Structure 1
Amino acid sequence: MDITIHTTPLPHEDPDESLAFYRDILGFEVRSDVGQGKMRWIAVGPVGQPETCILLAPPTADPGITEEESRVITEMMAKGTYGWIMLATRDLDDTFEKVQGADAEVVQEPTDQPWGMRDCAFRDPAGNMVRIQQVR
């Protein structure tokens, strides 16, 4: 089989804030931006990797979601326990300094993990955990 990861969704509450984080702070390019107001679906991805996207999406736009499920999703997002993603960079310390300098919420400074990985963590404007690990 020849399977790749194409798109993974992350919820947003404020599309403009999320777009500013992923485009302006992380440097991702915008692949598409459809909808209006808070009901926007924005595909972003790393420059030079057009086959890989993050879809910033309204978390409760699915018509099959009940009112109770919507409430739970909203609560989980507020706690930062609903969405998360792991990214990678060749220079973790430089990336950390740039993201921290843009006033992103730092969850963990660059740390050598017991399993051998060096990484750091931030929260995006929607509360999603964004972990960034060092790659060689």
Structure 2
Amino acid sequence: MPISSILTVTVPVTDQERALAFYTGVLGFEVRTDNPFPMGRWLTVAPKGAETSLLLAAWFPDMRPIGGLVVAAPDLDALAARLAEHEVAFEGPDPQPWGRQLLFHDPFGNGFVVSQA
């Protein structure tokens, strides 16, 4: 049987509270799960209405930050303003052959590519 969807993407972080503040406070994600877990805390976040969530995992000390997480936003200029307001470095929005995009990293080095939705 073929795979039908992607449920969760693990994003390595070193501090789950700081990650939670960034993803909910800066990016506007919602908490999907926040439960005790044998290795710490099972903490997932996602944009409202999204099917796939991000697992903010602090129990993989050797896991390197991931790059190229591609997400969508309806208004890249508003996102750029919000990132600037929170002093998050970013590039763009810039026109590309496939549309406008903006690049940024979370506080743990995980890289995001945001395409205009």
Instruction: Identify the TM-score tier after normalising by the shorter chain.
Output: 0.7 to 0.9
Assess if the C-alpha contact under 8 Å between 1:43 and 1:53 holds in 2: yes
Aligned twin of 1:53: 53
5+ unaligned residues in a row in structure 1: which ranges?
62-69
Residues paired across the two proteins, number: 114
Letter of the structure 1 residue corresponding to residue 57 of structure 2: A
Deviations 1:20-39 (A, max 9, x none): 11111111110112348x94
CA distance in 2, matches of 1:5, 1:59: 21
Aligned twin of 2:92: 109
Runs of 4+ that moved beyond 2 A: 38-41
CA distance in 2, matches of 1:58, 1:121: 23
Once the two structures are TM-superposed, the CA of residue 59 in structure 1 deviates from its matched residue by 5.2
**Aligned pairs for 1:1-136 within 5 A:** 3-35=4-36, 39-49=40-50, 51-58=51-58, 60=60, 70=62, 73=63, 77=64, 82-84=65-67, 85-106=69-90, 108-113=91-96, 115-135=97-117
CA distance in 2, matches of 1:59, 1:118: 35
Which TM-score applies when normalising by structure 1?
0.73
Which TM-score applies when normalising by structure 2?
0.83
Structure with the larger helix share: 1
Query: Identity percentage over the alignment?
Result: 33
RMSD between aligned alpha carbons?
2.2
CA distance in 2, matches of 1:92, 1:26: 12
